[in-house]
Amino acid sequence: DAGITQSPRYKITETGRQVTLMCHQTWSHSYMFWYRQDLGHGLRLIYYSAAADITDKGEVPDGYVVSRSKTENFPLTLESATRSQTSVYFCASSESGARNEQFFGPGTRLTVL
Amino acid sequence: GQSLEQPSEVTAVEGAIVQINCTYQTSGFYGLSWYQQHDGGAPTFLSYNALDGLEETGRFSSFLSRSDSYGYLLLQELQMKDSASYFCAVDTGRRALTFGSGTRLQVQP
């Protein structure tokens, strides 16, 4: 199906474990983004990518790693999960950055115990 | 750095008009976007203003004043389904958006 998907939708993990959140889009959009959403903070940008093999830090990148070997995929890895990384994570894509509509995936609710 | 301010909550009745304000302080400004998010859902795009003035899309309108670093989202003929959170977001030219904390709109019958 066309669109943007995220997996898993829900994840519970323990402190110190590595976790990878997947994001896949079928529009061939150049730009992809990872946000986290916590109560009272809105959406905060973690990392974004302008094209395959090009990534940039956002507002809150510490503790996260991204890669983009293919245009359609943009995985987010928490190398050693901490409780403060409990959040809802949204992936988004757009044709050309901030001026264009960003299409959001359904989100991944991550709980770190 | 960037900062955006919007009210945390707004309440209105069905059929009424509501305005959600957003003021911003940014280093560099190209435009202001608005997104809607229902509880448990993903944000969805509503509008993007690059120039001063009012842009209308159906029941929703968005306004921008670059000189005042201010914008608002206007929702007319409110419906129960408009109950959601609304986020303003600035485009500072860094190719990514910076979002405000969101305004929770409650529409009452």
Res. A1 pLDDT band, cuts 50 70 90: low
Res. A4 pLDDT band, cuts 50 70 90: very high
CB-CB contact of A91 with A7 (8 Å): no
- pLDDT, one tens digit per residue, over A81-112 is 999 999 999 999 998 876 779 999 999 999 99
Res. B27 pLDDT band, cuts 50 70 90: confident
Average pLDDT over chain A, rounded to whole? 94
Name the minimum distance, in Å, from the CA of B101 to any CA of chain A: 4
Query: One-letter amino acid identity for B74?
Result: L
Name the minimum distance, in Å, from the CA of A55 to any CA of chain B: 11
Give mean pLDDT, residues B3-30: 95
The residue ranges of DSSP E strands in chain A, in sequence order, are: 4-7, 10-13, 19-25, 31-38, 42-51, 54-57, 64-66, 76-78, 87-94, 103-104, 108-112
Which of B108, B107, B102, B109 minimizes the C-alpha distance to B20? B102
Q: Please name the residues between 63 and 102 in chain B that touch chain A, using a CB distance below 8 Å.
A: 87, 89, 91-102
**Chain A to chain B, count of Cβ pairs less than 8 Å apart?**
62
CB atoms inside a 10 Å sphere around CB A20: 14
Q: Minimal Cα distance from B2: which residue of A? A: A59
**Is residue A46 scored above 80 in pLDDT?**
yes
Res. A54 pLDDT band, cuts 50 70 90: very high
